[in-house]
C-alpha cells in the first residue's frame, strides 16, 4: 500500500500544508484543475489519466509524480470541496431575520452554482453513485449541521416568523433548486438556446418563490 513517496510528507501525520516548492504548488494546482474538469463531466471511472494529463498539458507519468494515484487526485478534489461545501449553510444565523437569512442562504448556494459548477457536478456524480466516498462526511458533518439548522428553521416556524413548513424539505428544496442550475446546465442550455445564460432570471425566480413560500 505504501510506495516510496517522491514527495516526502512532513513527519506530522497529515500535514495540512506540507512545504512544497514553487513548481510543486503550481503543478499540483494545474493537475487538480484539469482533473476537476475531467472528473466532473465523466465521473471517476469515466475519466482517464491520459485525459487529465492532456487537459493539464503534462505527461501521465508526471501526474503520478505529483499524486500517488488517480484515486489520490480524486480524493484531494473531494476533500477540498467538502471543506467549503458546508459553509453556506453554516452561515445561516439563528439570530438573524428568518426571511433574510434563508434568502441569503439560497443566494449563496446559487452563487456556488454560478462560480463552481464543476464542483457541484463532481459532488452530484458522487451522490449518484451512492456516495461511496463521501458517506462518512454526509452521515456525520452534513447530517449534524442539517439537523442543527432544521431546528433553527422549525423554531422560526413555531414562533410564527415564517410559514409552517418541513424544515428538511425546505433545505432540500434549496439544494435542488440551486444545484440544478449547475448539474443540469447542459440541458437548460439546450432548451433556452445556446446564447442564453442558464442562470439568467434564476435569482429573481427563486427570490419570488421563497418570498411567497416563507411569508407567515
Region of 59-67, 116-124, 129-137, 169-177 interacting with DNA (CB under 7 A)? 59-67
Which residues in the 84-123 window bind DNA by CB under 7 A? none
Of the two residues 62 and 187, which places its CB atom closer to DNA in the complex? 62
CA distances from 76 to 31, 39, 57, 194, 205 (A): 11, 12, 20, 33, 35
As a residue count, the chain comes to 216
Q: Which residues contact 84 (CB under 8 A, 6 or more apart)?
A: none
- Nearest CA to 137 among 190, 84, 92, 69? 84
Q: Tell me if 129 contacts DNA by CB under 7 A.
A: no
Q: Which does 118 bind (CB under 5 to 8 A by kind): a second copy, DNA, none?
A: none
Where does this chain touch DNA (CB under 7 A) — which range of 15-23, 105-113, 118-126, 131-139? 15-23
CB nearer to DNA: pick between 72 and 100: 72
Pick from 9, 18, 29, 71: which binds DNA (CB under 7 A)?
71
Collect all residues with Cβ–Cβ distance below 8 Å to 9 and sequence separation of at least 6. 15, 18
Q: Strand, helix or coil at 94?
A: coil
70 near DNA, judged by CB under 7 A: yes
* Residue 36 binding DNA, by CB under 7 A: no
Q: Measured from the CB atom, is 60 or 180 closer to DNA?
A: 60
Q: How far apart are CB 77 and a second copy at their closest, in Å?
A: 16
DSSP state string for 113-134: HHH-HHHHHHHHHHHHTT-TTT
Phi and psi at residue 200, in whole multiples of 5°? -60, 125
- Candidates 62, 79, 129, 136: give the one binding DNA (CB under 7 A): 62
The span from the CA of 89 to the CA of 119, in Å, is 17
Q: List the single partner that 27 binds among a second copy, DNA, none, CB under 5 to 8 Å by kind.
A: DNA
The listed partner (a second copy, DNA, none) that binds 71, CB under 5 to 8 Å by sort, is DNA
**Binding partner of residue 97 among DNA, a second copy, none, CB under 5 to 8 Å per kind?**
none
Compare residues 80 and 139 and give the one whose CB is closer to a second copy: 139
Q: Which helix (H) or strand (E) holds 61?
A: helix 60-66
CA 210, CA 119: separation in Å to the nearest integer? Answer: 25
- Helix H or strand E segment including 206: helix 202-214
The yes or no reply on residue 54 touching DNA (CB under 7 A) is no
CB of 61: closest distance to DNA in angstroms?
A: 3
Amino acid at each position: 500500500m505504501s510506495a516510496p513517496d517522491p514527495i516526502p510528507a512532513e513527519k506530522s501525520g497529515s500535514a495540512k500544508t506540507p512545504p512544497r516548492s514553487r513548481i510543486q504548488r503550481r503543478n499540483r494546482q494545474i493537475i487538480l484543475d484539469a482533473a476537476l474538469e475531467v472528473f466532473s463531466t465523466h465521473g471517476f471511472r469515466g475519466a482517464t489519466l491520459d485525459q487529465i494529463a492532456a487537459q493539464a498539458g503534462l505527461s501521465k507519468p508526471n501526474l503520478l509524480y505529483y499524486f500517488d494515484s488517480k484515486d489520490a487526485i480524486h480524493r484531494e478534489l473531494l476533500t477540498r470541496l467538502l471543506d467549503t461545501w458546508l459553509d453556506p449553510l453554516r452561515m445561516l444565523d439563528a439570530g438573524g431575520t428568518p426571511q433574510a437569512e434563508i434568502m441569503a442562504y439560497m443566494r449563496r448556494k446559487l452563487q456556488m452554482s454560478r462560480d463552481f459548477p464543476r464542483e457541484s457536478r463532481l459532488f452530484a456524480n458522487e451522490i449518484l453513485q451512492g456516495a461511496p466516498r463521501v458517506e462518512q462526511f454526509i452521515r456525520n458533518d452534513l447530517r449534524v449541521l442539517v439537523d442543527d439548522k432544521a431546528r433553527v428553521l422549525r423554531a422560526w416556524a413555531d414562533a410564527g416568523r415564517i410559514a409552517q413548513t418541513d424544515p428538511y424539505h425546505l433545505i432540500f428544496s434549496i439544494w435542488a433548486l440551486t444545484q440544478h442550475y449547475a448539474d443540469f446546465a447542459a440541458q437548460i442550455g439546450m432548451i433556452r438556446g445556446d446564447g442564453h445564460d442558464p442562470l439568467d432570471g434564476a435569482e429573481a425566480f427563486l427570490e419570488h418563490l421563497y418570498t411567497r413560500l416563507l411569508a407567515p
